[in-house]
Amino acid sequence: MMRLRNASGGRPWAESFAVDIGQEFTPNDFEMCRRDESTERRLGRAIRELTAIVEEILLDPALARRSPLERLAGTGWLDSRA
Q: Which domain holds residue 44?
A: 35-64
Ranges assigned E (strand) in the chain: none
Residue 80 lies in a domain: no
| pLDDT value of position 18 | 81
Region of poorest pLDDT, from 2-11, 33-42, 44-53, 69-78: 2-11
Distance, C-alpha 35 to centroid of its chain: 18
Is there a single domain that holds both residue 58 and residue 39? yes
Residue 10 lies in a domain: yes
Average pLDDT of every residue of the chain: 76
| pLDDT value of position 11 | 77
Q: Structurally, how many domains does the chain consist of?
A: 2
Handedness of CA 27, 33, 39, 43 (dihedral sign): positive
Structure-model confidence comparison of residues 17 and 66, the more confident one: 17
Burial of 44 (0-12, 13-18, 19+ CB in 10 A): exposed
Is there a single domain that holds both residue 5 and residue 29? yes
Is there a single domain that holds both residue 5 and residue 27? yes
pLDDT interval class at 9 (50, 70, 90): low
Q: What is the pLDDT of residues 28-61, one digit of tens each?
A: 776 667 788 998 899 999 999 999 999 998 888 7
Residue 82 lies in a domain: no
Is there a single domain that holds both residue 29 and residue 40? no
